[in-house]
A and B are shown apart, each in its own frame.
Chain A
Amino acid sequence: MVADIAFWLPLIILVPLLAAIGAFLFPRHSFRFAFIGTLVTAAVVFGSTGLLWQDKEVARHAVGGWGAPLGIDMVLDGLSMLMLLLTAVIGLAITSYARGYFLPKNNSSESWHQYNYFWPLWLFLWAALNALFLSGDLFNLYVTLELLGFSAVALTALVRKPAVLKAAMRYLLVSLSGSLMYLLGVVFLYAGYGTLDIALLGAVATNTPELVAAAALITVGLVMKTALFPFHFWLPPAHANAAAPVSALLSALVVKGSFYILLRVWLVALHPLADTFIPQLLSGLGMAAIIWGSLQAMRQTQLKMLVAYSTVAQLGYLFLLIPLLLRGRGDDIAPLAGIVIFLSAHALAKAAAFLSAGNLLYAVGEDRLSSLDGLTRKMPLTLAAFGVAGVSLIALPPSGGFIAKWLMLNVALEHGYWWLMIVVIGGGLMAAVYIMRVMSHLFLEARGHKSDVKPLPLCMSWPPFGLAVLAILLVFTGVLVTDMLVIGAPWLLEVAP
C-alpha cells in the first residue's frame, strides 16, 4: 500500500489543507502547524517523486472510487510531478524565511495579525497549487484556480496599507474575470463534446468554430491570470507591495499555476488548433512582454518594483516556444523541456531575488535603490544570493536559465525561427542591465549612514541563497527533466485507438 503511489496522491493535497485548517483554528500554534505541515508535505512530495521515478508510469487516483467521466480523477504524470517538486522546494524555503520575517518584534496587533494569518493562508495556497497540478479535468482546474487566486489575494492584502489593498483589489478583479472567462470557455467545450476530462477531450476535439471560441475564452482568461503583456498591469503593484515572502510566492509559483493549465489545455484538448493564429499570437505577445518588461525594469527606482517588472519580462519567455511546442508535438520533447526548465529556473531565481530584496528592506527599512549603497559588507550572504539569482535571470552559463534558453534557441533555430534568437539574447542583455544596476548600488561605498543595519536571523539569510544555488544547479538537470517529462507526456495520454 505504501509503495503504491495512488495512496500518496490524496495526501499531497490533504496534508497542507489539514495543516491550514489547524493553523487557522488554533492561531496560538499556527507556526507549529505550518512547520509540521511543510515538512510532511515536502516529504510526501519527495516520496512520490521517487515512486514515480521508479514506476515510470502515470498514476491515477479516482476520488471516492468514482472514476472519470463521472467522478474526479487525480492524475500524476511527469509534468505535474516536476511542478509539485518545484513547489515543495520553494515551500520549504518560504516557511523558514517567513518565520523570521513575520515573527512579531513588538506587541502591535498589526504584526500579530500578519503573523497569525500568513500561515493558514500560505498552507491553503500550497494545497490549492498541489490540487491544481493533480487535476485532470477542466472544471476541477477552475475550482483550484479560484482557490489559488483567493489565497494569493488574501496574502497580498496581509499588509493593510491603502496602496497594497488597492493592488490586491485590482489583482482580485483581474483574477476573477480571468477565471470566469476560462469557465465560459469550459462551458463551450462541454456543450460541444460532453466531457470535461482533458485527455478525453484531446481524443475527440476537432477544429470547429466552437473549439475556436472556447480556445479564445480559455486562453484570454488564463493569459490575464498569467500576466502576459498587455495584461500585466496588475502584477507589478501587487507583487512589489506584498510582504517579501508573499511576493516570492506570487512571482515564483502563483503565475505559473495558470500557465501550467494553459500549457496542458493547449497540449492536449486544444491541439487541433495548433496551426491557427492563436499560438503565434501568444508567442508574439511573449516577445513584447520581454521587451516591455525589461525596459520598465531598467527604469525602476525601487528594488521590488524592479524585480516585479523582471517577472513580467521573464514570463514572456514561457510563451515564445508555444507554436513550436504544439507543432512538434509527438516527436520532440525538447521544447517542453526548455519551457519547464525555464519555468523552474525562473521560479527558484525569482523567489531568491524577492527574498533577498526582502532581507535588504528588512535591514535598511527602505525600498529605494539608492538606499542600498554599501550593504555588501553588512550582508554578504544576501548579496551573494541576489547575485547568484541574477546570474540565472540573465542566463549566464552555468545556470538553469542558461540551459533553458540554450534548449529554446536550439529548437527555434531548427525550425528556422531565427528572430527568436534576437529577442532571447536582447532580453538577456537587458536583464544584465537591470541586475547590474542593483549590484552596483550594493557595491558602492557606504556614505556613512549604514550603522543602523538590523542583524538578520539565520532562517532569513540562508533560504534565498539556497534557492539561488539550486537555480544554478538546474544546469545539470536537463536529462533528468527530460526523462521525467516523458512519463505520461501529455500527447501519449490521449492516444486512444
Chain B
Amino acid sequence: MLESTQLYAIAGIVLFGMGLYALIVFPHLLRKILGMNIMGTGVFMVFVAIGYRGLDELPDPVPHALVITGIVVAVCATGLALALATQIGIKTGTARLTPDVEEDDGS
C-alpha cells in the first residue's frame, strides 16, 4: 500500500508532467499559461506532501513557508504572462506563437 505522502507526491509529479505537456503541445497562449500553472501546482503539491511527519506530529513548517513564497512568485509569473499574451493578442490579432518569428515582422 502507498502511504498518503507518496500518493500526494506521485500525483504532484504527474501534474507537473501534464502541465509541461500542455505547455509544449498547445499553441494557444492561454493554454500554455494554464499548463505552466499546473506545473507549478504539481511542484507545490510534492513540496507540501514532504512536510507530513505522521498524524501525531506537527508538519514540517519549512516547506509550507516556501510554498507560500512559491505561490506569490507563480501569481507574478501568471500576471506577467497574461499581460504579454494580451499585448500579443492586440498587436497580432491572435494569442498564438506562430512558428516563424522573423517572418511576420512589421505586420
Residue from A70, A142, A163, A184 within 8 A of B105 (CB atoms): A163
Cα separation A184 to B76 with both chains bound (whole Å): 19
Residue from A139, A162, A241 within 8 A of B88 (CB atoms): A162
* Residues of chain A contacted by B101 (CB below 8 angstroms): 163, 166-167, 170, 237, 241
Q: A-B contact count, CB below 8 Å?
A: 98
Cα separation A143 to B70 with both chains bound (whole Å): 8
A161-B84 contact, Cβ under 8 Å, with A143-B73, A177-B20, A177-B23: no
Q: Which of B69, B70, B92, B107 has the most CB of A within 10 A?
A: B70
Size bracket, chain B contacts = 35 or more
Instruction: Report A148-167 residues with CB < 8 Å from chain B CB.
Output: 150, 153-154, 157, 160-163, 165-167
Q: Which of A153, A157, A163, A241 has the most CB of B within 10 A?
A: A163
Residue from B9, B36, B104 within 8 A of A176 (CB atoms): B36
* Residues of chain B contacted by A163 (CB below 8 angstroms): 101-102, 104-106
Shortest beta-carbon distance from B37 to chain A in Å: 10
User: Does chain B have a CB within 8 A of A173?
Assistant: yes
Question: Mask for B20-63, Cβ within 8 A of A = 1, else 0?
Answer: 10010000010010001001101100110010000000000011
User: Does chain B have a CB within 8 A of A169?
Assistant: yes
User: Does chain B have a CB within 8 A of A146?
Assistant: yes
Cα separation A208 to B75 with both chains bound (whole Å): 34
Shortest beta-carbon distance from B60 to chain A in Å: 8
Task: Report whether A146 and B87 are in contact in the complex, using a CB–CB cutoff of 8 Å.
Answer: no
* Residues of chain A contacted by B9 (CB below 8 angstroms): 191
* Residues of chain A contacted by B43 (CB below 8 angstroms): 180, 183-184, 187
How many residues on chain A are close to B (CB under 8 Å)? 32
Residue from A150, A168, A170 within 8 A of B77 (CB atoms): A150
Cα separation A161 to B88 with both chains bound (whole Å): 9
Cα separation A161 to B42 with both chains bound (whole Å): 34
Cα separation A167 to B107 with both chains bound (whole Å): 15
B96 to chain A: closest residue by CB:
A166
A150-B80 contact, Cβ under 8 Å, with A163-B102, A163-B104: yes
User: Does chain B have a CB within 8 A of A321?
Assistant: no
Task: Report whether A191 and B76 are in contact in the complex, using a CB–CB cutoff of 8 Å.
Answer: no
Shortest beta-carbon distance from A448 to chain B in Å: 27
Task: Report whether A184 and B46 are in contact in the complex, using a CB–CB cutoff of 8 Å.
Answer: yes
Residue from B66, B69, B80 within 8 A of A153 (CB atoms): B80
Cα separation A161 to B105 with both chains bound (whole Å): 8
A183-B98 contact, Cβ under 8 Å, with A165-B88, A173-B23: no
A169-B85 contact, Cβ under 8 Å, with A143-B73, A154-B80, A180-B40: yes
Cα separation A184 to B9 with both chains bound (whole Å): 11
Task: Report whether A184 and B16 are in contact in the complex, using a CB–CB cutoff of 8 Å.
Answer: yes
A187-B47 contact, Cβ under 8 Å, with A162-B88, A177-B23: yes
Task: Report whether B76 and A150 are in contact in the complex, using a CB–CB cutoff of 8 Å.
Answer: yes
Shortest beta-carbon distance from A127 to chain B in Å: 15
* Residues of chain B contacted by A143 (CB below 8 angstroms): 69, 73
Task: Report whether A177 and B87 are in contact in the complex, using a CB–CB cutoff of 8 Å.
Answer: no
Shortest beta-carbon distance from A402 to chain B in Å: 34
User: Does chain B have a CB within 8 A of A53?
Assistant: no
A157-B36 contact, Cβ under 8 Å, with A143-B69, A163-B101: no
Shortest beta-carbon distance from A315 to chain B in Å: 20
* Residues of chain B contacted by A472 (CB below 8 angstroms): none
Residue from A146, A165, A167, A180 within 8 A of B16 (CB atoms): A180
Instruction: Report A61-108 residues with CB < 8 Å from chain B CB.
Output: 70
Cα separation A177 to B88 with both chains bound (whole Å): 20
* Residues of chain A contacted by B29 (CB below 8 angstroms): 169
Instruction: Report A345-370 residues with CB < 8 Å from chain B CB.
Output: none
Instruction: Report A28-57 residues with CB < 8 Å from chain B CB.
Output: none
User: Does chain B have a CB within 8 A of A172?
Assistant: yes
Cα separation A146 to B66 with both chains bound (whole Å): 14
User: Does chain A have a CB within 8 A of B18?
Assistant: no
Shortest beta-carbon distance from B67 to chain A in Å: 10
Question: Mask for A405-426, Cβ within 8 A of B = 1, else 0?
Answer: 0000000000000000000000
Cα separation A190 to B67 with both chains bound (whole Å): 13
* Residues of chain A contacted by B85 (CB below 8 angstroms): 169
A-B contacts, 19 of them at CB < 8 A, read A139-B69, A142-B70, A157-B87, A162-B88, A162-B92, A162-B106, A163-B102, A165-B87, A166-B88, A168-B84, A173-B81, A180-B40, A184-B13, A184-B16, A187-B47, A190-B62, A190-B63, A191-B50, A241-B101
Q: Besides the contacts A170-B101, A177-B23, what 6 more A-B pairs have beta carbons closer than 8 Å?
A: A150-B77, A161-B105, A162-B88, A163-B104, A187-B47, A241-B101
The 3 tightest CB contacts between A and B, nearest first, are A163-B105, A162-B91, A191-B50
